[in-house]
Amino acid sequence: MTTIFSDIEGNSSSAPAIDYTALGSDIMERVETLALHTEQTGIMTRTYLTAAHRGAASQIAVWMREAGMTVRCDASGNVIGRYEGTDPSSAILMTGSHFDTVRNGGKYDGPLGILLPIGCIAGWSRQGRRFPFPIEVVAFCEEEGVRFKAPLLGSRAIAGTFDNRVLDNVDEDGVTMREAMLAEGLDPAQLPCAAMSKGSIAAYLEVHIEQGPVLLEENRALGVVTAISGSSRFMLELKGVAGHAGTVPMTLRHDAAMACAEVALYIEQRCSASPGLVGTVGQFNVPDGAGNVIPGRAVMSIDIRAGADALRSDAVDDIQAKITHICTRRGIHANINKTYEAVSVSCADWLQQRLTDSMQRNGCTPRSLPSGAGHDGMIIATIAPIAMLFVRCGNGGISHNPGETMSAEDAALASRVFVDFVENFSVPTTQ
Ligand SMILES: [Zn+2]
């Protein structure tokens, strides 16, 4: 069968137009092929430096070469395809996404942003078309942080912010990251060589599934990301007084679980009141609780995110004040421990505008939205302006889940917008 990816040599004179319908289907087929590289048959699990990870990297490199790119692998395991420009000394246009997954995750989270640009470049390659700037497609080796409890390793290597302390992190079998890298032929001592300098990347554009239901609910295929949300995470421990469920009157109780519940409902109410703000209580425990005992201790997690940092910090301040208020009234002692904080990362205004223009030229109504999930772009933003194009998730918008899905039609439309963006891109004269 002839696909858009085959027969890319020696065809420049006829300059065939890209067949986006075929491209959308081929991207979906390749997602399925890549998903065969998994640690457990029938389940999508591909963590850093496993045999499945190595197999996926090799397959991606083959596809990059077939599309007309030269391929290199850096010391972290990133696979980088380069489609040379007419001026090889120009700053590059970087695109890409990650090819590791969470355990029992989805097939599209990451691979879409690798396979879509490879397909578009194959189209330009068939046309013999070159741009003034080189395009590099980065298949980031590690974004999810599953195996060694350290995320965004591939982008950190490229940004020059790889923290060598994580090399001593161990997986569930006690293997250190350093040992795993050496076993895969990667030399941790060479990690600094993977770093790219500020100014060498004109822009970074990542195509990614939305991982949420917003576009699906609005019946839109694509969205332009405004910012990758910042987040504040806490563990809240409340201590009251344990007591007999039958003998202590309601007015004399210091029930830690009920205080937690009141805090949780306040978080829902506070975050519902501000568009763009989300709050989640994902863990809610009564340690050593029993059905006939008033809880003396309760523990819960709090996760607050927003695209705008002020929105998030105002909510955090209000929640902390409310915890104090609730606990004082109920005679409860509170310990609040911050476990994580990350500021939001803005996508560059000029790149958002160019993506919006590309969408409009392809019949899409502009729609901007923040990304509630983290992405490699957060890290690349320290050395280059970034942009992200979201593609609608099907199936209620679920992600990090085997039910994650999207359509070939949306892959085709996203390819049109990607091609339009690149064909109208120029490297800014002042970096
Ligand atoms: Zn992802």
> H or E stretch including 83?
strand 79-83
Taking alpha carbons only, the member of 338, 322, 339 closest to residue 268 is 322
Ligand 1 centroid from CA 49, angstroms: 17
Ligand 1 centroid from CA 111, angstroms: 8
Ligand 1 centroid from CA 397, angstroms: 14
CA angle 372, 375, 379 (to 5 degrees): 125
pLDDT, residue 14, reads: 62
Indicate the residue type of 162: F
Ligand 1 centroid from CA 116, angstroms: 14
Strands 368-371 and 277-280: unpaired
Ligand 1 centroid from CA 377, angstroms: 10
How many Å is the Cα radius of gyration of the chain?
24
What are the structural domain ranges in the chain?
A: 20-228+344-423, 230-342
pLDDT, residue 15, reads: 73
pLDDT, residue 8, reads: 44
Ligand 1 centroid from CA 147, angstroms: 15
Ligand 1 centroid from CA 140, angstroms: 10
- pLDDT tens-digit series, residues 382-401: 999 999 999 999 999 999 99
Record: fold of 20-228+344-423: Aminopeptidase (3.40.630)
The model carries a pTM of 0.89
Considering the segment(s) 230-342 as one domain, its CATH architecture is 2-Layer Sandwich (3.30)
Instruction: Say how many C-beta atoms besides its own lie within 10 A of residue 158's C-beta.
Output: 28
- pLDDT tens-digit series, residues 108-136: 999 999 999 999 999 999 999 999 999 99
Mean pLDDT in order along the chain per 10 residues (431 residues): 44 74 98 98 96 98 98 98 96 98 97 98 97 98 94 97 96 97 97 97 98 97 96 96 97 98 98 95 95 98 95 98 98 95 95 98 95 95 98 95 96 98 92 48
Ligand 1 centroid from CA 65, angstroms: 24
Shared fold status for 20-228+344-423 and 230-342: no
Ligand 1 centroid from CA 113, angstroms: 9
Ligand 1 centroid from CA 404, angstroms: 12
